[in-house]
């Protein structure tokens, strides 16, 4: 398997509905869908606050009177100080609850802008124009917004659904290689959340399939009361690596290693066999991603401690693990198993 060709837009734009009753919205996937922005504006919106980063390189036209607010690059932008700065700037500019926020960028921008939308004037509409693969298959879909604390990623946030999401696959052609690899890592997890043959699909259809899977899960469990935890497959180890903060791994790269780690844990619990573990390694390596811990990550004690800080750890350390019933949350994994699985991917 190899990553699909980025410019293979063999089908017209696809639209996936996230069915949440009165909060339902459409996700548009395809080349050039950013130009649909004006047509998906909330009724009655007068002005648009466009939140983006300088390096995104894509402009949008909301069809409204719009102001652009630029935030810092990287995870540093996902902070309470940046939320305050944006809210104060929007207040000085006269933005009200009846206006709309437009997030243009990757997961950092959509997470941050969505959280600003959730708290400014106690809530206003927002639209995400996702320009990275990571945002298109995960961060921009589902209404989970938030910012980081020094103690961990996304520990402050809100469930606040967007009015619409535009996943413009044309923007992927300009991504730096590692940013694209990070997106493949998040996409890799969807191979294990469905029976669909994602390997047979082109880029646009593969992204749309991932969006459909996430939309179905979100519709069934909007606020992560149970089933939605499956979307964190591979993330227990990934978040621990990211929280440690000393290792040169992008989010999707860490998720890729985390997927294989979760498979090793599941095999040791008798949930899957070695062939299924090999499938995880094949899918991950097929995207050109790592499936072993990089050199330097050798402090098991730190990683095990960080597992307990993960947001889904509501009853002790909680893993999301594969089985013949599918992927599901599991508690009570013996520490010896956790250590053995770490040794297997080192």
Q: Are residues 193 and 312 in the same domain?
A: no
Domain count for the chain: 2
CB distance 158 to 145 below 8 Å: yes
Q: Are residues 198 and 263 in the same domain?
A: no
Among candidate residues 220, 252, 268, the one where a domain is terminated: 220
Return d(Cα 50, Cα 69) in angstroms, integer.
Answer: 6
Give SS3 for 140: coil
In the residue annotation, 239 being an active-site residue is answered as: yes
In the residue annotation, 292 being an active-site residue is answered as: no
Q: Are residues 84 and 204 in the same domain?
A: yes
How many CA atoms lie less than 13 Å away from 59 in the CB half-sphere?
Answer: 5
Query: 189, 251, 268, 280: which one is catalytic?
Result: 251
Averaged pLDDT, 320-329: 93
Q: Are residues 231 and 211 in the same domain?
A: no
Query: What confidence category does residue 175 fall into, taking pLDDT thresholds of 50, 70 and 90?
Result: very high
At 64 the pLDDT is 96
In the residue annotation, 191 being an active-site residue is answered as: no
Return d(Cα 41, Cα 36) in angstroms, integer.
Answer: 9
Query: 186, 222, 253, 264: which one is catalytic?
Result: 186
- DSSP annotation string for 84-137: HHHHHHHHHTT--TTSEEEEEESHHHHHHHHHHHHHGGG--EEEEEE-SHHIII
Residues 221-235: tens digit of each pLDDT? 998 777 888 999 999
Query: What confidence category does residue 2 fall into, taking pLDDT thresholds of 50, 70 and 90?
Result: low
Range of the domain at 246: 227-344
In the residue annotation, 75 being an active-site residue is answered as: no
Q: Are residues 165 and 291 in the same domain?
A: no
In the residue annotation, 312 being an active-site residue is answered as: no
Q: Are residues 44 and 18 in the same domain?
A: yes
Query: 189, 191, 214, 250: which one is catalytic?
Result: 214
Tell whether 9 is covered by a domain: no
In the residue annotation, 228 being an active-site residue is answered as: yes
Contacts of residue 248, defined as CB under 8 A and 6 or more positions apart, other chains included, come to 294
Tell whether 98 is covered by a domain: yes
Query: 232, 242, 268, 280: which one is catalytic?
Result: 232
Q: Are residues 150 and 243 in the same domain?
A: no
At 309 the pLDDT is 65
Tell whether 112 is covered by a domain: yes
User: What stretches of 120-248 show up as alpha helix (H) in DSSP?
Assistant: 133-134, 177-189, 203-220, 235-244
At 4 the pLDDT is 64
Q: Are residues 213 and 282 in the same domain?
A: no
At 154 the pLDDT is 85
Tell whether 184 is covered by a domain: yes
Query: What confidence category does residue 1 fall into, taking pLDDT thresholds of 50, 70 and 90?
Result: low
**CATH number of the domain residue 73 falls in:** 3.40.50.1970
Q: Are residues 212 and 144 in the same domain?
A: yes
Q: Are residues 101 and 152 in the same domain?
A: yes
Look at residue 249 and tell me whether its pLDDT is greater than 70: yes
In the residue annotation, 9 being an active-site residue is answered as: no
CB distance 186 to 254 below 8 Å: no
Q: Are residues 216 and 234 in the same domain?
A: no
CA distances (Å), origin 127, targets 170, 207, 224, 330: 18, 18, 22, 34
Q: Are residues 216 and 254 in the same domain?
A: no
Query: What confidence category does residue 10 fall into, taking pLDDT thresholds of 50, 70 and 90?
Result: very low
């Amino acid at each position: 398997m190899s990553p699909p060709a980025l410019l293979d837009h063999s089908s017209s734009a696809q639209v996936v509905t996230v069915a949440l009753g009165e909060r339902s919205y459409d996700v548009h996937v395809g080349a050039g869908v950013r130009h649909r922005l004006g047509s998906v504006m909330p009724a009655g919106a007068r002005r648009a606050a466009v939140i983006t980063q300088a390096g995104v390189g894509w402009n949008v036209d909301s069809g409204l009177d719009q102001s652009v607010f630029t935030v810092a690059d990287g995870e540093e932008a996902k902070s309470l100080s940046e939320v305050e700065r944006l809210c104060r700037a929007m207040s000085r500019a006269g933005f009200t609850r009846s206006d709309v926020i437009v997030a243009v960028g990757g997961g950092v921008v959509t997470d941050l802008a969505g959280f600003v939308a959730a708290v400014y004037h106690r809530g206003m509409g927002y639209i995400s124009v996702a320009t990275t693969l990571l945002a298109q298959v995960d961060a921009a879909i589902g209404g989970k917004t938030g910012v980081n604390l020094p103690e961990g990623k996304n520990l402050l946030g809100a469930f606040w659904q967007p009015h619409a999401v535009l996943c413009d696959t044309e923007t992927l052609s300009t991504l730096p290689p590692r940013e694209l690899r990070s997106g493949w890592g998040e996409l890799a997890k969807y191979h294990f959340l469905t029976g669909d043959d994602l390997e047979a699909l082109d880029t646009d259809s593969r992204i749309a399939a991932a969006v459909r899977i996430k939309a179905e899960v979100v519709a069934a469990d909007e606020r992560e009361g149970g089933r939605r935890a499956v979307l964190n497959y591979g993330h227990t180890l990934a978040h621990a690596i990211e929280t440690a903060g000393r290792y040169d791994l992008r989010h999707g790269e860490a998720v890729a290693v985390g997927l294989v780690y979760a498979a090793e844990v599941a095999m040791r619990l008798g949930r899957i066999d070695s062939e299924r573990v090999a499938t995880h390694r094949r899918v991950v390596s097929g995207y050109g991603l790592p499936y072993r811990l990089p050199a330097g990550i050798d402090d098991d004690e730190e990683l095990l401690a960080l597992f307990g800080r993960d947001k889904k750890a509501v009853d002790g350390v909680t893993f999301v693990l594969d089985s013949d019933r599918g992927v599901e949350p599991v508690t009570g994994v013996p520490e010896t198993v956790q250590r053995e699985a770490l040794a297997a991917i080192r």
